[in-house]
């Protein structure tokens, strides 16, 4: 089973890494792939280039067994739609179970994603739960959850796609927005992200840091 963790990673930080590891362990994933979005379709454009964000992910997971980074969204023109990424992975990998990992905030925005109803046919969806955030009871997202939700982790390994599972993970109030703001204000974000990533930010003079 391969887990897919998409994001902007502007920059990658310990909440991404810790939650990814917890999902990897709970699902016993053979591989967890980070997939940086080259041109994220539904948000302001990142400050670091796609190549820099890919480099930062690579530095962050350098010594971590089973974690990899996949740069395929940098090779496509136009907005980085997850449906295209999943279709290309499916073509390449055949019938292996794929697990798209989403934060609960990302799940709530899912109906705005390009061709979002195709996603569950291409991968399982695992949602990292956040206490206090409630799912809508009506509407197309509620329908998707009702139709696909399972409580059985073992079901995921038995089929290539089609199940939805909610997993509890440690709650870490770290965000890339906050890290960028600290850097721009001249404050250190150390211990919120790996030192290797922070060193790279300084080398590349990213986020308003002087080189």
Cβ of 139: how many Cβ atoms within 10 Å?
A: 10
Which of positions 148-177 make contact with ligand ATP (CB under 6 A)? 172, 174-177
**What are 66's two structure tokens?**
């089973």
User: Taking the complex as a whole, how short is the minimal distance between the CB of residue 145 and ligand ATP, in angstroms?
Assistant: 17
Q: How many CB atoms lie within 10 A of CB 41?
A: 13
Alpha carbon separation from 156 to 70, 99, 124, 203 (Å, rounded): 22, 8, 7, 42
Q: Are strands 124-129 and 164-168 parallel, antiparallel or unpaired?
A: parallel
The least distance separating ligand ATP from the CB of residue 95, rounded to whole angstroms, comes to 25
Q: Is 207 in the site for ligand ATP (CB under 6 A)?
A: no
Find the shortest distance in angstroms from Cβ 158 to ligand ATP. Answer: 25
Residue 106 binding ligand ATP, by CB under 6 A: yes
Q: Does position 33 bind ligand ATP by CB under 6 A?
A: no
Assigned token pair, 158:
């038995």
Instruction: Provide the 10 A C-beta neighbour count for residue 162.
Output: 17
CB of 19 or CB of 24, closer to ligand ATP: 19
Candidate ranges 21-29, 73-81, 101-109, 198-206; the one touching ligand ATP (CB under 6 A)? 101-109
The count of residues interacting with ligand ATP (CB under 6 A) is: 17
Secondary structure (3-state) at 190: coil
Quick one: which of 3, 4, 7, 156 contacts ligand ATP (CB under 6 A)?
7
Residue with tokens 């670091």: 48
Peptide bond preceding 11 in cis form (omega within 30 of 0): yes
- Smallest gap from residue 133 Cβ to ligand ATP (A): 11
Q: Which is nearer to ligand ATP, 13 or 161 (CB)?
A: 13
Judge if the upstream peptide bond of residue 30 is cis by omega within 30 degrees of 0: no
Choose the stretch contacting ligand ATP; rule: CB under 6 A; options: 13-21, 57-65, 71-79, 151-159.
13-21
Q: Where does this chain bind ligand ATP (CB under 6 A)? A: 7-10, 15-16, 19, 102-103, 105-106, 128, 172, 174-177
């Amino acid at each position: 089973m391969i887990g897919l963790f998409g994001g902007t990673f502007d920059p990658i930080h310990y909440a991404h890494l810790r939650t990814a590891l917890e999902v990897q362990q709970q699902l016993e994933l053979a591989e967890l792939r980070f997939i940086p979005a080259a041109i994220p379709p539904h948000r302001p454009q990142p400050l670091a280039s796609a190549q820099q964000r890919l480099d930062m992910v690579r530095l962050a997971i350098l010594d971590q067994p089973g974690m990899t980074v996949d740069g395929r969204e940098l090779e496509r023109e136009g907005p980085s739609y997850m449906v295209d990424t999943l279709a290309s992975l499916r073509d390449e990998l055949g019938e292996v179970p794929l697990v798209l990992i989403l934060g609960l905030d990302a799940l709530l925005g899912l109906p705005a994603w390009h061709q979002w109803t195709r996603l569950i046919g291409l991968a399982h969806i695992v949602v990292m739960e956040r206490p206090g955030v409630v799912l809508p009871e009506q509407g197309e997202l509620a329908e998707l959850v009702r139709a696909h939700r399972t409580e059985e982790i073992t079901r995921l390994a038995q089929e290539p796609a089609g199940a939805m599972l909610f997993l509890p993970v440690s709650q870490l109030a770290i965000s890339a927005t906050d890290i960028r703001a600290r850097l721009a204000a001249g404050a250190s974000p150390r211990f919120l992200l790996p030192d290797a990533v922070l060193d790279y930010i300084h080398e590349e003079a990213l986020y308003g840091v002087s080189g």
